[in-house]
Amino acid sequence: MSDLVFSTYNDLYAARSIGRLLVEPTVHFVRVMRLFPPEGRLALLKDAYAFSKQFYQTDFSLEQFVAFALFAWDPHWPVENAISAETPSEVQLDRLTREQKYLVRIAASAQSEGLVAEVLTRTSANDARSTESEVLRVIAESLGGRIEDAALAAAVAQCLLFNRRLIRSYQDETAELVGFAASIPEDEFDTHGTYKRAPLDSLFHDELPDLSDIEFDRAEFESLTRDVSSLVEAESLLFAGEFNRELSDDLALGDKFGFVESPSGLFVPSHARKMISTQFADLINRASEDKAHLLTLSPRGFEEFMASLFQRLGYDVELTKSTRDGGVDLICLHSVHGIPFRLAVEVKRYKEDRPITVEMVRSFVGANKQFEADKLVYVTTSSYTAPAMSFADNYASQLLHLKDYEQIKEWCTEAQTQSWLLLPNSGTRR
């Protein structure tokens, strides 16, 4: 079996593990719960408890409700320890295992955001009379009543947006992986390679197999491919995405607290967004006329300006943490005809008497081992030494682009017309 098949099998195995997590609404909702202090989580839990009591004629405690939501009909618990009750009132707390009692106590005190999220999202699954839409409505009403300041509201809105983007990214990237796996020719399965485990494989929760000792045929490979494909199209994954979208719509936090999404992806007050937008547009105009306006920015301010500029050009931009020289300042993502394109950018706000040296350029190229970008762009307000330009032309001409103020001016012009094209061959993977 060839290295290509081994590598693809590894990717499919990881995609299946990740997909099995993403289809669970709890995995996404727990991020929201982390934004609340314990007392806020407890208030949400009590809201769900009160909601659940509407469907039962008999009384039950908060602990019985939590145990019922966590363990009733749960196949992960041994049969002899499972709760067979059909209502929370039938739960016998004294018959729980020691571990179950501990988990109930932790969840009922709202000390664990994961357990509380598990209770809230499992309520509908354990009670046929409470539909997902009803639980969603109650959670939205409860969350809305517990969010009292704009900072928390913006954090929750950002978290729900992140959840939706995470699911969409998984769907797009995994669908591409499945298509690639299906296109591998038959003879690749008859070729023996020298596959070695990737360093990052150990980060996945499910232990990846030692592929060098495994023999399997195309039928097994195709079975794994179908498993992954079914996850991409699973109704549970679609529901997880809809859960986040509908919860965001029901909360309507932007309308209530007066904030909108900024070009950097953060949620800011509406008046601040207007001010940011005006300031950025003004800076684009001034920067395209005179380089001196860019030199008045701090180094970090220049990085933030370039991040906003690339966003205006149509890229999804991640502004990395401020570090010493040798890293990457921006990661810019774009999709061209469904093909993802990754751009790494290093920016330097230097005066003309401080050119970019070949050592700095080499360090930037070396940093790409971590980011694996399709293209590298070095941007400066100054210039480049002759050795730096020679290195770019002779060694890394297909990967590296050196840009100066003249290119920044062109980008500013493009940004003013909302053009997304950054490089002539930005859609070509080299």
Paired with 319 in beta bridges are 330
pLDDT digits (tens, 9 = 90+) for 145-183: 888 888 888 888 888 888 888 888 888 899 999 999 988
Paired with 316 in beta bridges are 333
The per-residue DSSP string of 94-107 comes to GGS-HHHHHHHHHH
pLDDT digits (tens, 9 = 90+) for 272-320: 444 455 566 778 888 888 888 888 888 888 888 898 888 888 888 888 7
Please check whether residue 127 is in contact with residue 51, taking contact to mean a CB–CB distance below 8 angstroms. Answer: no
User: What is the pLDDT tens value at each position of the chain, 430 positions in all?
Assistant: 577 888 888 889 889 988 888 887 778 888 888 888 888 888 888 888 887 787 777 789 999 988 888 887 665 655 455 566 778 888 888 888 888 889 899 989 888 888 888 787 776 554 444 455 566 667 777 787 888 888 888 888 888 888 888 888 888 899 999 999 988 887 777 655 544 444 444 444 444 455 445 555 678 888 999 999 998 888 878 877 887 888 888 888 888 887 766 655 556 565 544 445 556 677 888 888 888 888 888 888 888 889 888 888 888 888 876 654 556 889 888 876 667 788 899 999 999 999 999 999 999 988 888 888 889 999 999 999 999 999 988 877 778 999 999 999 988 888 776 533 333 333 332 2
Question: Coil, helix or strand for 37?
Answer: coil
Please check whether residue 142 is in contact with residue 48, taking contact to mean a CB–CB distance below 8 angstroms. Answer: yes
Please check whether residue 259 is in contact with residue 154, taking contact to mean a CB–CB distance below 8 angstroms. Answer: yes
Please check whether residue 422 is in contact with residue 310, taking contact to mean a CB–CB distance below 8 angstroms. Answer: yes
Q: In whole angstroms, what is the distance from residue 207 CA to residue 10 CA?
A: 11
Question: Coil, helix or strand for 372?
Answer: coil
How many other β-carbons are positioned within 10 Å of the β-carbon of residue 219? 8
Domain map of the chain by residue range? 1-257, 267-416
Asked if the 267-416 domain carries CATH number 3.40.1350.10, the reply is yes
Residue 216's contacts (CB-CB under 8 Å, 6 or more residues apart) are 1
Q: Which two tokens stand for residue 426?
A: 């930005």
362-368, long-range: CB within 8 Å, 24+ apart, which pairs?
362/391, 363/325, 363/326, 364/326, 364/328, 364/400, 365/396, 365/399, 365/400, 366/326, 367/326, 367/327, 367/328, 368/328, 368/344, 368/399
